[in-house]
Structures are given as C-alpha cells and as structure tokens.
Structure 1
C-alpha cells in the first residue's frame, strides 16, 4: 500500500478516536469500543503531519484518562475515610448503648431502694424523723441523693442524645460512601474507555509508524526541556534536599522500571500521584493522594526555589505530577503502557511546584 493509503489509515484511526472522545463526555452512557474494520496496517510510514495528529490525539486521550484517574483516586480516598468514620461511629454507638444500659440499671436500683423504704421519697422520710442528729445526717444524705439523681438523669439524657447523633452521623456517612462508590465506578469506566481508545489507535499503526511516533514524542519532550533549560532556570535552582526529601527521592527512584497502572500505589505498579504520595509516606510525611489535591493543599514554591523532593505539577488542571530529583530532572510514572522513569522537569507544561515538608 502506498503513502496515500497509509495516510488514509491514520485518518480513519483519528476519526474513530474522535468519535470515542465524543462518546466519553461526562454523563454520557457508552458501550465498550468495538474494533472498526479499517484497512490493514501498512509498512510504509505516514507523514510526520499525520503522526503529529495521532500524537496529539493520544496526548488528549491519556490526559482525559489522567483526569478520570484523579477523580477515581479522590473518590477512593474519601470512601476510605468515610469507611473509617463509620467504623468509629459504630464503636461509639456500641459504647453508648453499654453506658445507657449501666445508667438504666442504676436508675432501676434507685427505684427499687425507694420501694423498699415504703415508696416515700427521702425528703418525706426526713420530715418524719424526731431525732435532730438523724435529721441533720439525713438532710446531708438527701442533698447528696438529689444531686446524684439529677446527675443520673442528666447523664441518661446526654447519652441518649449522643446515640441519636451518632446514628444520624452514621447514616450521613453511609450516603456519602455510596455516592463516592458511584463516583469511583463512573471514573473507572471513563478511564477504561480512554485507555482502550488510545490502545486501539496505536494498534492501527504499522511498526515503522509506531517507531516514528515514539521518536516524535521524544523530540517534543526534548524540545520542551531544551527551551526550559535555555531560559537559564537551572542556574537559579540551587536548593538542597531536606533529610525527608532525600528519603522520598530515594524511594521514588528505586521504583524506576515498574509499570504505570491507574489507581495504583505500589509496591509493584504506580500511577503518577501514587508514586509521589507513597514516596513521601515512606519518608514519614503523609501528603494528599491525588495530584490535584497535592497542588491545592501543599505549599507552593517558585520553580527557581525548588529542591529535590519537591513535586512538580503539570498541565493547567494539575492532572500530572513528578518528583524533582535535581539537575533539571524529575522521576515520574508517565501513563499507561509506560514505566516509572526519569525525564526532564521542563518536558511538559509546568503549572507549579509544591513542597510537602515546608
């Protein structure tokens, strides 16, 4: 097949992916993608312009998968916290019921004692006493008894109120847990859809086209990194890693070569924020699970002030993160089909830098 036939093949593939992208708009139901008939792959490489279009579409698909992955991870993190809150509330309810049972027994014992004294309250029995000393002693006991009775009633009331509040809180947490389970399921479907579309697009390319596409990706990353370095930024970056930062870098770089997997936090596979969050957890400092929350919650520092261990957040919507390791490089988990690797810190559009151990 000639070059024009191959370009037609790539155009067909792009059209298929465009259609899938439209179907994957949030809130739209979709079915699993079916491979289109399409022409067979050609051994004649397509032009760079066609492959650039494919590369752009792949970037968009994997970016959309990253957005959905962040949503999935956020929903999972919330669900974990809500599950823990429900367990905590359940324990409080059990303890509260046990306390209520004890208080009721005490109240029952007080009622039984009153019955044994003829059913008269302490005040009435006190008035019937003719002995002054017995009267004084009884008055003291009566005041103590009244305080105890009031305390018992107050404790019973508070315990019952606490139990009602615990039950109400548990019900609200269950609803939130269910909502986040649904959010996770929706995000999971979107992730699988986007990755499947990307894989189908790449599968339609001939071997030489895949090789050329990989070269174009490398060239684009190198060009961006070179532009970033040519700005002279590396001359300004002189920060030294903290003790925790060095430990986080050591953990992250030890994972080099392990596959990317969305939603994964190790030890065998990682997604981008799974790698950075686990690296800092290993360094003894817990940070948010997702790149978007890392960007929102951690302290922002200027790029020129970053130091090894800091996190570099990428793209306008904070959907990717890598860890700065020095000399203008980061370690990161790139995307599906790739492994944890080192690349230039300026090879992608930088949104900003955050410092976990500020």
Structure 2
C-alpha cells in the first residue's frame, strides 16, 4: 500500500487523457475513467484527508489548552480549600477564646464597675480590636467559601468542556481514517502502469504551473533569510525523507503544518499549529517579498502549508504515503504567503 502511495508522492496536475484498463471480468462492471478523471478523484480524496487532518489538529490544540486550564483550576481549587481550612481554624480559635474568657459581664458593664477607669479603657480597646479581628476572620471565611464554590463550578465546567473536546477528537480521528481508507481503496484498484500515468500527469501539471509563475515574473528574487528564518529552514531540511503522518509534528514523522510549526518553534518563534491558523494569525506578505523561512499556504480554505527555501522551491510534508521533500512552489494551488518573524502591521492613525 505505502509503495503505491510513494509512487504518487506530491506534485500536482494536467496532461494526457489515456483510457484506463477495464476492471477484471469478475468485478462489477463500471465506467472506464481517464487518467485525468482518476487524478482528479485522487486529489479530491487527498484534500478531504488533509481538511479532516487540519480539523483534527485544531481540536487537539483546543484539547491541550483545555487540559491545561483544568489543571490550573484544580490547583487553584486545592489552594482555596487549604485557605478555607485555615480560615475555619481561625474562626474556631476565636470562638474558643470567647467562650473561655466570658465572665457573664459585657465590656460596657465592666467599664462602669472598674476601679481603674484607664485600665478598663485599655481593656476595652483590646476587646474592640478582638471584635474587629473576629469580623475580619468571618469575612475572610465567607469570601474563601465563595471563591471555593466559584472555582469548583469553573473546574466542573472546564472538565465538561474537556470531555466534549475529547469526544469530538475521537470522531474526527475516525473521519481522517475513513478518508485515508478511501484513498487506499482507489489506489488498490490501479495497476503499476496506471499509477505511472497518473504520476506523470500530475508532474506535468506542476511543471506547467511553475512555468506560468516564472513567465509572469511572480517568483521572487533570491533574498537572504532572517537569522530565525535560516534556523527554521535548516531544521525543516534536516527532516527530509521522514514520512508524512497525519496529526504528527515530529520527530519521526510530520504532517504539513506540524513540520512548519516545529521548524519555527526550534528557531525560537512559536507559531500556531494548523495551516489555517498560520494563515489567519501570521503576517501576510506579497509573493514578491518571499524569503527563505516564509510559509506558502495552499488551497482556498488554507488546508496545506509549506516552507519557502529559495529558488522557487518549498520544503513540505506533502500528503499520506509521501516523505518530507523539496518541491516546486507551485505543487498545489497557491493561496498566499505569511512571515512568522514579522509583527503584523498596525493602523498608524
């Protein structure tokens, strides 16, 4: 299975309209499909798989953040319970002191009957301070109880959200696996000759698209990378030959955005995990300004991403069954480019 996928490694569309060999007589009869039709079907399946993978990755990121929030709230709740225990201890101590020191006379009566008015006044000041301490202690106890109750509610809600995300992630994982199964079923019907014809058609499409960019002057002039960009490129190129695997970000395998996120993370500039988030949150730049380390985002829904390395080429984790490789920039339909190590422009008004 993987051998067939590898023979279809990443590089896009166009060319001959060859009719495929009919299915064996034992199989249910179905219309013959041309190479271009078959390539279109495969590309659609790969795109569906990548969309499902990106959705899974986004949920995995949410789940990781939610787990951190649950852990934070659990820690705060534990501290609030300890504080509540301390406050209750203080209230108990004051209650015992009041019980032990009572003599049946209130402080005002003791003041009137005292043979030493100054001493009585001093004692009254102490008694007043003790009363204020009791008020502060009870107030603190009440506030701590409220904080504990609020944290307990927040922790329960956060845990419920975590469980919902975990269930959603499981369903999305099943969705990715179903899309991959569709790719495998289609590839399993092809002969080596058909696979070669599809690969040749795909390669011709990439070459044509790259030539159009060159002819139109859309490919950028060679320019140096930033120091962080150079580190990111070195990391990405060091991963050449490692397999694509959906939902992974190294070190043994990568999906497309896992590779770019890890490369820039190792360069000291953390970026969002998914291709869509990288497109949404990083600084967009015109193609004429591309430099090594910048990210090229593909497809209208921003479901694939690669890293520009110069000379009209990108390094990428292309798709299931392929390995991390250097490819022409026009391997897929280009949406735009973003720069991770440049702050977004602000309104100067």
When the two structures are superposed, what TM-score results if normalisation uses the length of structure 1?
0.84
1:72-116 CA-to-partner distances (Å, cap 9, x unmatched) read: 111111111111111111111111111111110111000000001
Maintained 8 Å contact 1:96/1:163: yes
Deviation at 1:232, TM superposition (A): 0.8
Unaligned segments of structure 1, at least 5 residues:
13-35, 40-45
What CA distance in whole angstroms lies between the structure 2 residues aligned with 1:102 and 1:121? 31
What CA distance in whole angstroms lies between the structure 2 residues aligned with 1:312 and 1:8? 40
- 1:75 to 1:120, Cα distance in 2 relative to 1, 3 A: farther
Structure 1 window deviating more from structure 2 (113-122 vs 151-160): it is: 113-122
- 1:216 — aligned with what? 201
- 1:232 to 1:5, Cα distance in 2 relative to 1, 3 A: closer
What CA distance in whole angstroms lies between the structure 1 residues aligned with 2:82 and 2:106? 29
When the two structures are superposed, what TM-score results if normalisation uses the length of structure 2?
0.86
- 1:199 to 1:118, Cα distance in 2 relative to 1, 3 A: same
- 2:72 — aligned with what? 88
1:257-279 CA-to-partner distances (Å, cap 9, x unmatched) read: 00000001111110001111111
Maintained 8 Å contact 2:19/2:35: no
Q: Secondary structure at the match of 2:134?
A: helix
- 1:77 to 1:123, Cα distance in 2 relative to 1, 3 A: farther
Maintained 8 Å contact 2:20/2:194: no
Higher relative contact order (CA 8 A, sep 6+): 2
1:297-339 CA-to-partner distances (Å, cap 9, x unmatched) read: 1121222222211111110000000011112111110000100
Maintained 8 Å contact 1:239/1:307: yes
- 2:37 — aligned with what? 53
The 5 A counterparts of 1:238-277 are 238-277=222-261
Please point out which of 114, 117, 125 is paired with 1:140.
125
- 1:65 to 1:123, Cα distance in 2 relative to 1, 3 A: farther
Please tell me the root mean square deviation across aligned C-alpha atoms, in Å: 2.6
- 1:100 — aligned with what? 84
2:147 aligned with 1:162, yes or no? yes
Deviation at 1:119, TM superposition (A): 6.5
Deviation at 1:192, TM superposition (A): 1.2
Please point out which of 283, 288, 297 is paired with 2:267.
283
Maintained 8 Å contact 1:299/1:355: yes
Q: Secondary structure at the match of 2:143?
A: helix
Deviation at 1:137, TM superposition (A): 2.3
Unaligned segments of structure 2, at least 5 residues:
1-17, 343-349
